[in-house]
């Protein structure tokens, strides 16, 4: 199959028409409002099922809201999709793009199953309900406990209202698929600022999150000499300066680390802080890099405790496992990207979480990014040019064709 | 006059009895509650006037609540005193000690005027009402505008309720006095931790207070590479680390500097701070040292603005003038301290503000500190041993006798 074949295969006008039609369901300014299991969300799922049937797929919805459009013929098969609900009053492409791209590949006659996972956006506590359910990682007990983050509605009530109570939950069959492809907007500015059109995702970073507490002595800033002080804030600044100095020596090429909050207690002009609390996290796609950064952080805290009068305590709050993308699928996406946009693409990690990170636990998975204008996402102004959307779906189709060859 | 004479001169039993009697007016647990112009505060001022008359002084109260006990004989004279109101539910010695010590010197026959200034504690906006009024630094317009910080009562109403409306405000006559002596508790732990009993104050430090604002770009901590970031919090940490490194090179022997608050905006785990705000202050008794520290701070901010992507703005919020103590009065206090407690005293700055800093603008002024047990002050548990109180009043009397010789 050549590049020319691929261009012929995908009906990019129908693809854009589908995207624009879906945007009208729950429209909010230039974006949409389709929170999980709302009337608008369920309408979009029914709209999708009709589209899938029209493309010859056997469409179904399961007990957690996942929509699957199953190819009726023999394999090999690929799974293609994303999520269809949105953040509140948010963008028209986040999720929807990957689902509608799946429809476009189905319409082109590729033997793909198309999926729209439920609640990637985490309207219900826990998040990623649909993709976690589909890989067997969501228990009934979790469903019993989950509540809507905005209005507190129990998930069970929301499922019943949506007509989904009692339906079986589908499980993905790893034997059926060569892999999972998810097309998504970047939600950052890396492609735009590099003047590129496509990003082949190397993996979805894991976030390792820590709280660092420093315990000093609250004192009056006038009566206490520098020598007598146990200034928790100063110990915190010294540790953060050491992290700034040492992390570049152990990080990977695309690692990030962030201090999001520093709280000095009690926080008055004339009071030496008795306690300091720091929110710190780092991200990478590589487990060895994550472990190296953690070892560096632990060593710096130990050094702080040797030198400083204010004991520092390091508490790991969460340590996720990174989801590297499948090398063969990445190679297919890279070749397809080079075919449709020569020199206009790059390999890059995903700093945000996606359904693909869950699917990757049971299937080879990979992702393709298109640029976000101004990096805007989780806002109704989110957008991508039609030209980049079309480049993306053509590359996705070409990659799928290569994998299924 | 020898040390023996001085010991004979001061009736330390009467001095302690006065202190204990005054503690009963507005008693709260082991401390007192005598906010400015409250019934208890006015009762303590009337108690003081009676004491002063009994010691042969001509006692008066003025239109801002200052009580003066004027020696009836010829000079030379010294002014001795402090304030008599307290912080809310606070200690029995903060202020009262210096006033009662003045009574003790008057009882001993020394030609001293005794003063109790009003509202050193700043119950009314502005603070230091009495000593500022007595040196001609308080305008009628300021009195019109001042409000009680706790309940909002206008100062004019409080003065009227206290029966002080319409009374003239006394002005200190610099020609009448050789100087002003204020005995006070340390409100810190320096004397206690050094095992000393008396502190001869070298001066009252000035506080120079700054806000430093950093302006960056708020971004998602996942999608933004380290190179793309404009992390306002990181720029703040780097400046604070530079201050920690450079200030010891320019400071004086007893300078202090304090970062009381660091606010990163918006303060989430996964959000690169778009703005950072730092509360920073330093203190010293020497104007050249203060100016050196400010020049260093300004140079570090300039260097930050050369190196960092997040512009830093330095705003001076207040720059007070330090009040060095009078060398001749300090010498008299030092000789007296050595006489009553050989090797048991030191010269030290006052990190907190006192009425003496205002009086020093028109008269030679000096202060004597006694230890605060555990450094506790502005709390009802504030205390000093009777032995140290007695050492203090004996040294104060001996110093006054030397100055008046």
| Per-residue pLDDT at B9 | 84
Q: Tokens 């971004």 label which residue?
A: B219
Confidence of residue B219 (pLDDT cuts 50, 70, 90): confident
Residue A320 DSSP one-character state: P
Confidence of residue A267 (pLDDT cuts 50, 70, 90): very high
**Cβ-based contacts of B199 with chain A (< 8 Å):** none
Confidence of residue B2 (pLDDT cuts 50, 70, 90): very low
| Per-residue pLDDT at B260 | 96
A343's tokens: 């020199």
A3-204+322-404 and A206-318 share one fold: no
Residues in contact with A168: Cβ distance below 8 Å, sequence separation at least 6, in sequence order: A62, A63
Contact A188 B279 (CB under 8 A): no
pLDDT at B14 over 90: yes
Residue of chain A nearest B226, judged by CA positions: A256
**Which is nearest to B273 in space by CA: B229, B227, B226?**
B229
Residues in contact with B17: Cβ distance below 8 Å, sequence separation at least 6, in sequence order: none
**Which is nearest to B191 in space by CA: B344, B391, B378?**
B344
| Per-residue pLDDT at B269 | 86
| Per-residue pLDDT at A3 | 43
Which fold would CATH assign to domain B206-319? Alpha-Beta Plaits (3.30.70)
Mean pLDDT over the full length of chain A:
95
Residue B211 and residue B279 in contact, taking contact as beta carbons nearer than 8 Å: yes
Mean pLDDT confidence for A50-74:
98
**Which is nearest to A175 in space by CA: A75, A99, A283, A294?**
A75
B354's tokens: 């006192």
Contact B264 A267 (CB under 8 A): no
- Alpha helices (runs of H) in A229-286, residue ranges in sequence order: 232-250
- CATH code for A206-318? 3.30.70.360
Strands A275-284 and A206-215: antiparallel
For residues A397 and A109, give the distance between their C-alpha atoms in angstroms, rounded to a whole number. 10
Tell me, rounded to whole angstroms, the distance of Cα A209 from its chain centroid. 17
A253's tokens: 């090429």
Interface-testing mutation among A225, A251, A316, with chain B (most B C-beta atoms within 10 A) = A225
| Per-residue pLDDT at A127 | 80
Contact A260 B233 (CB under 8 A): yes
CA distance readout (Å), A398 to A7, A114, A330, A337, A391: 8, 16, 12, 8, 11
Mean pLDDT confidence for A312-331:
95
| Per-residue pLDDT at A223 | 78
pLDDT at A8 over 80: no
For residues A291 and B98, give the distance between their C-alpha atoms in angstroms, rounded to a whole number. 62
**Which is nearest to A389 in space by CA: A25, A22, A1?**
A22
For residues A33 and A40, give the distance between their C-alpha atoms in angstroms, rounded to a whole number. 8
Q: Give all strands (DSSP E) within B55-149, no chain letters.
A: 58-61, 67-70, 77-83, 112-117
pLDDT at B52 over 60: yes
Contact A223 B254 (CB under 8 A): no
Give the gap in angstroms from C-alpha B282 to the nearest C-alpha of chain A: 9
pLDDT at B156 over 90: yes
Tell me, rounded to whole angstroms, the distance of Cα A8 from its chain centroid. 31
B340's tokens: 């009553």
Q: Tokens 């693409």 label which residue?
A: A345
Give the gap in angstroms from C-alpha B363 to the nearest C-alpha of chain A: 24
Q: Is B378 annotated as a binding residue?
A: yes
Residue of chain B nearest A237, judged by CA positions: B237
Interface-testing mutation among A127, A256, A370, with chain B (most B C-beta atoms within 10 A) = A256
* Of the partner residues A207, A228, A264, the one whose CB lies closest to the CB of residue B260: A264
Domain ranges within chain B, ordered by starting residue: 3-204+322-404, 206-319
Q: Is A184 annotated as a binding residue?
A: yes
| Per-residue pLDDT at B223 | 78
CATH top-level class of A3-204+322-404? alpha beta
Contact A233 B259 (CB under 8 A): yes
Give the gap in angstroms from C-alpha B215 to the nearest C-alpha of chain A: 15
- Dmax (CA) of chain B: 82
Residue B213 and residue B317 in contact, taking contact as beta carbons nearer than 8 Å: no
A292's tokens: 């190296």
Give the gap in angstroms from C-alpha B32 to the nearest C-alpha of chain A: 21
Confidence of residue B270 (pLDDT cuts 50, 70, 90): confident
For residues B404 and A52, give the distance between their C-alpha atoms in angstroms, rounded to a whole number. 105
Give the gap in angstroms from C-alpha B378 to the nearest C-alpha of chain A: 11
**Cβ-based contacts of A264 with chain B (< 8 Å):** 259-262
Residue A286 DSSP one-character state: -
Q: First CA to last CA across chain A, in angstroms? A: 8
| Per-residue pLDDT at B376 | 87
Contact A258 B231 (CB under 8 A): yes
Per-residue pLDDT tens digits for A165-222: 999 999 999 999 999 999 999 998 899 999 999 999 999 999 999 999 999 998 888 8
Residue A212 and residue A314 in contact, taking contact as beta carbons nearer than 8 Å: yes
Contact B270 A260 (CB under 8 A): yes
For residues A388 and A154, give the distance between their C-alpha atoms in angstroms, rounded to a whole number. 39
Confidence of residue B256 (pLDDT cuts 50, 70, 90): very high
| Per-residue pLDDT at A221 | 87
Residue A150 and residue A334 in contact, taking contact as beta carbons nearer than 8 Å: no
Q: Give all strands (DSSP E) within A47-122, no chain letters.
A: 58-61, 67-70, 77-83, 112-117
Question: In terms of C-beta density within 10 A (0-12 exposed, 13-18 middle, 19 or more buried), how is residue B24 classed?
Answer: exposed
Give the gap in angstroms from C-alpha A131 to the nearest C-alpha of chain B: 21
For residues A85 and A49, give the distance between their C-alpha atoms in angstroms, rounded to a whole number. 14
Mean pLDDT confidence for A139-153:
94
SS3 content of chain B, % helix, strand, coil (to 5): 40, 25, 35
Q: First CA to last CA across chain B, in angstroms? A: 8
Residues in contact with A339: Cβ distance below 8 Å, sequence separation at least 6, in sequence order: A3, A6, A395, A398
Q: Is A354 annotated as a binding residue?
A: no
**Cβ-based contacts of A263 with chain B (< 8 Å):** 262
pLDDT at A270 over 90: no
3-class secondary-structure state, position A364:
coil
* Of the partner residues A234, A273, A375, the one whose CB lies closest to the CB of residue B244: A234
**Cβ-based contacts of A196 with chain B (< 8 Å):** none
Question: In terms of C-beta density within 10 A (0-12 exposed, 13-18 middle, 19 or more buried), how is residue B13 classed?
Answer: exposed
3-class secondary-structure state, position A66:
coil
For residues B131 and A109, give the distance between their C-alpha atoms in angstroms, rounded to a whole number. 92
pLDDT at A6 over 60: no
**Cβ-based contacts of B258 with chain A (< 8 Å):** 221, 231, 269-272
pLDDT at A7 over 90: no
pLDDT at B398 over 50: yes
Per-residue pLDDT tens digits for B111-155: 999 999 999 999 997 789 999 999 999 999 999 999 998 899 999
pLDDT at A120 over 60: yes
* Of the partner residues A193, A241, A260, the one whose CB lies closest to the CB of residue B269: A260
| Per-residue pLDDT at B7 | 53
For residues A345 and A198, give the distance between their C-alpha atoms in angstroms, rounded to a whole number. 5
What is the SS3 string spanning A258-322? EEEEEEEECCCCCEECCEEEEEEEEEECCHHHHHHHHHHHHHHHHHHHHHCCCCEEEEEEEECCC
**Cβ-based contacts of A262 with chain B (< 8 Å):** 233, 237, 262-264
Tell me, rounded to whole angstroms, the distance of Cα B399 from its chain centroid. 21
A64's tokens: 């957690």
For residues A170 and A155, give the distance between their C-alpha atoms in angstroms, rounded to a whole number. 18
| Per-residue pLDDT at A1 | 41
**Which is nearest to B201 in space by CA: B285, B133, B257?**
B285
Q: Cβ–Cβ contacts within 10 Å for residue B165, how many?
A: 12
**Cβ-based contacts of A270 with chain B (< 8 Å):** 207, 258, 260, 281
Residue A404 and residue A178 in contact, taking contact as beta carbons nearer than 8 Å: yes
Mean pLDDT over the full length of chain B:
95
């Amino acid at each position: 199959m050549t590049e020319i074949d691929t261009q012929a295969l995908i009906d990019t006008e129908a693809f854009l028409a589908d995207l624009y039609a879906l945007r009208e369901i729950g429209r909010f300014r230039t974006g949409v409002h389709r929170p999980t299991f709302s009337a608008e969300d369920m309408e979009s799922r029914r709209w999708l099922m009709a589209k899938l049937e029209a493309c010859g797929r056997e469409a179904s919805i399961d007990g957690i809201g996942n929509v699957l459009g199953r190819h009726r013929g023999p394999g090999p098969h690929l799974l293609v999709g994303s999520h269809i609900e949105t953040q509140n009053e948010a963008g028209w492409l986040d999720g929807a793009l990957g689902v509608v791209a799946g429809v476009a590949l189905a319409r082109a006659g590729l033997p793909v199953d198309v999926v729209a996972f439920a609640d990637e956006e985490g309207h219900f506590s826990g998040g990623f309900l649909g993709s976690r359910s589909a890989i067997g990682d969501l228990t009934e007990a979790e469903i019993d406990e989950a509540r809507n983050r905005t209005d507190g509605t129990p998930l069970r009530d929301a499922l019943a209202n949506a007509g989904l109570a009692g339906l079986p939950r589908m499980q993905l069959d790893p034997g059926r698929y060569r892999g999972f492809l998810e097309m998504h907007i970047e939600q950052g500015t890396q492609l735009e600022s590099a003047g590129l059109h496509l990003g082949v995702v190397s993996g979805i970073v894991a976030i390792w999150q820590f709280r660092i507490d420093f315990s000093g002595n609250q004192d009056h800033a006038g009566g206490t000499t520098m020598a007598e002080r146990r200034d928790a804030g100063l110990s915190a600044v010294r540790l953060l300066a050491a992290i700034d100095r040492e992390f570049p020596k152990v990080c990977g090429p695309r690692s990030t680390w962030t201090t999001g909050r520093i709280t000095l207690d009690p926080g008055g002009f004339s009071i030496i802080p008795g306690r300091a609390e720091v929110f710190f996290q780092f991200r990478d796609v590589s487990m060895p890099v994550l472990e190296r950064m953690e070892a560096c952080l632990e060593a710096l805290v130990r050094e702080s405790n040797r030198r400083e009068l204010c004991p520092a305590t390091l508490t790991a709050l969460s340590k996720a496992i990174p989801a590297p993308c499948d090398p063969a699928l990445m190679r297919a996406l890279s070749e397809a990207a080079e075919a449709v946009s020569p020199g206009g693409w790059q390999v890059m990690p995903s700093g945000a979480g996606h359904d693909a990170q869950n699917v990757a636990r049971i299937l080879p998975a990979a992702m393709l990014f298109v640029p976000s204008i101004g990096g805007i996402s989780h806002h109704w102004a989110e957008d991508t040019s039609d030209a980049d959307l079309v480049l993306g779906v053509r590359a996705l189709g070409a990659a799928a064709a290569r994998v299924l060859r």
